[in-house]
């Protein structure tokens, strides 16, 4: 019996009860589809987080202070919180190539918030950032329209402002018309120097609802001369992030005379570490989704067994006839195995097709990214499911004695 003959017999067998075959195929295709789609969703969310973090810059260190609580906890008349406050002098020291050779750019950051008004329109800017021009390239925040402010603007406390996309849209409807206009932030007039390029959200807050002004101007007009909120440090190279981090820690520890027995009051967030952590999380998430999907694939496989058992029972007489006509054990085995495998392979193909369509759309806010190996794996597993779950009914059919099978009513 040639493979073509076997295939023909199997197809006739399957078409004998189309609805039943269809439902079984559906079970398998849901399993296969679920595996591919869910793995793609997991992969997609991982990729999205990675892309956002990479957009932030992977060689970025964010230095902030925890306030030096350790001294007080021990009840000493020890260092005050002020001793560990970050200052512009710290930023200047970090920018010094001799003190921190692996640091390429430093930007001190102070944040505030305020209501911006333009004519009759007012908008509350959640985050008004005061910083230096280094901030924009270091944090991957390009100016899309107009231009950035300069170091000279910082030195002379110019009242210029860069608006985020959301802020610009809220105030001027069309961001393009914003450049050159004057707005009020609090009670002070600012000239819009530029509009920042749109950024993807990395969290719950809108990264476009910002405004950036020279740090000197912010201090003079809005925030006062308190400590810096943070210092953004860019490592010279992706591979030098760790050494840069060590230099920053050492330098700040020395400058603020932190006792050696005390935990560092400075928190240095390393974007590469954050990236690694979120990738691990995404991998766990993907594995979890894949497990759930694999369970549904197994359920689909059990459906194949079930239907094949019914089929074998129903067609016992046919098996008897075939045996009387000279069909050998392995011929019968082959016929039913091929039927079962066809069921699950067709199911697999349908599942892949549906998955390919479904993954073109956003699911739960995530753009799924197909993992090519998951398609091959799902198809292979569905064929294996057919062979595995079909083998028991097929063996039962092949093992029937011809006379028993023929007598079956």
Partner 1 sequence: MAADALIEIRDVTKRYGSGETAVHALRGVSLRVEAGEYVAVMGSSGSGKSTLMNILGCLDVPSRGEYWLDGSNVARLTEDQQALVRGRKIGFIFQSFNLIPRTTALANVELPLTYAHLRRTERRKRAARALALVGLSDRADHRPNELSGGQQQRVAIARALATGPRILLADEPTGNLDAHSTDEVLGMFDQLNADGRTVVVITHEHDVAARARRLIQVSDGRIVADEVTRR
Q: Which residues bind partner 1 (CB under 8 A)?
A: 1-2, 4-5, 12, 15-16, 317-318, 320-331, 401-403, 406
Q: Nearest distance from residue 15's CB to partner 1, in Å?
A: 8
Sequence-ordered list of residues with C-beta below 8 angstroms from that of 399, at least 6 positions apart, any chain:
329
Q: Nearest distance from residue 14's CB to partner 1, in Å?
A: 11
Which H or E element spans position 254?
A: helix 241-255
Q: Nearest distance from residue 21's CB to partner 1, in Å?
A: 13
Enter the tokens of residue 405.
């099978």
Distance separating the N- and C-terminal Cα atoms of the chain: 27
What is the longest distance spanned by two Cα atoms in the chain? 105
Which H or E element spans position 331?
A: helix 329-358
User: Which CB, 13 or 393, lies closer to partner 1?
Assistant: 13
Residue 129 in contact with residue 211, Cβ under 8 Å?
Answer: yes
According to DSSP, residue 363 is labeled: B
* Best CA proximity match to 151, nearest among 170, 165, 131, 169: 131
CA angle centred on 316, ends 312 and 318, rounded to 5°:
110
User: Which CB, 11 or 377, lies closer to partner 1?
Assistant: 11
Could you give phi then psi for residue 359, rounded to 5 degrees? -75, -5
User: Which CB, 1 or 295, lies closer to partner 1?
Assistant: 1
User: Which CB, 324 or 357, lies closer to partner 1?
Assistant: 324
Q: Nearest distance from residue 324's CB to partner 1, in Å?
A: 5
Q: Nearest distance from residue 18's CB to partner 1, in Å?
A: 11
* Best CA proximity match to 344, nearest among 36, 5, 21: 21
Q: Nearest distance from residue 315's CB to partner 1, in Å?
A: 9
User: Which CB, 356 or 406, lies closer to partner 1?
Assistant: 406
User: Which CB, 383 or 406, lies closer to partner 1?
Assistant: 406
């Amino acid at each position: 019996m040639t493979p073509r003959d076997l295939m023909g017999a199997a197809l006739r067998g399957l078409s004998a009860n189309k609805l039943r075959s269809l439902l079984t195929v559906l079970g398998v295709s849901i399993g296969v589809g679920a595996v591919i789609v869910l793995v793609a969703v997991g992969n997609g969310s991982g990729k999205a987080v990675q892309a956002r973090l990479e957009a932030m810059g992977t060689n970025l260190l964010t230095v902030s202070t925890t306030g030096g609580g350790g001294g007080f906890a021990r009840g000493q008349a020890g260092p005050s919180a002020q001793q560990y406050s970050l200052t512009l002098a710290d930023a200047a020291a970090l920018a010094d190539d001799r003190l921190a050779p692996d640091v390429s750019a430093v930007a001190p950051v102070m944040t505030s918030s305020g209501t911006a008004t333009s004519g009759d329109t007012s908008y509350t800017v959640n985050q008004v950032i005061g910083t230096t021009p280094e901030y924009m390239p270091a944090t991957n925040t390009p100016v899309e329209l107009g231009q950035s402010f300069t170091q000279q603007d910082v030195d002379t406390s110019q009242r210029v402002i860069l608006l985020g996309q959301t802020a610009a849209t809220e105030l001027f409807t069309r961001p393009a018309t914003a450049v050159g206009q004057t707005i009020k932030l609090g009670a002070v007039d600012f000239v819009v120097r530029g509009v920042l390029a749109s950024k993807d959200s990395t969290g719950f807050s809108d990264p476009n609802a910002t405004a950036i002004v020279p740090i000197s101007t912010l201090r003079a007009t809005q925030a006062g001369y308190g400590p810096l909120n943070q210092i953004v440090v860019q490592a010279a190279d992706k591979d030098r992030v760790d050494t840069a981090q060590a230099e920053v820690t050492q330098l700040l520890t020395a400058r603020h005379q932190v006792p050696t027995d005390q935990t560092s009051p400075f928190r240095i967030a390393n974007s590469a570490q954050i990236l690694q952590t979120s990738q691990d999380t995404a991998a766990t998430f993907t594995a979890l989704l894949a497990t759930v999907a694999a369970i549904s694939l197994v359920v689909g496989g059990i459906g194949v067994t079930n239907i094949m058992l019914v089929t074998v029972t129903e067609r016992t007489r046919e098996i008897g006839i075939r045996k009387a006509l000279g069909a050998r054990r392995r011929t019968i085995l082959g016929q039913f195995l091929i039927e079962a495998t066809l069921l699950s392979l067709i199911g697999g193909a349908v599942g892949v097709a549906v998955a390919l369509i479904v993954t073109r759309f956003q699911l739960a806010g995530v753009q799924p990214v197909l993992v090519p190996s998951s398609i091959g794996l799902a198809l292979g597993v569905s064929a294996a499911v057919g062979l595995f779950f079909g083998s028991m009914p097929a063996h039962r059919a092949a093992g029937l004695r011809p006379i028993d099978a023929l007598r079956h009513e």
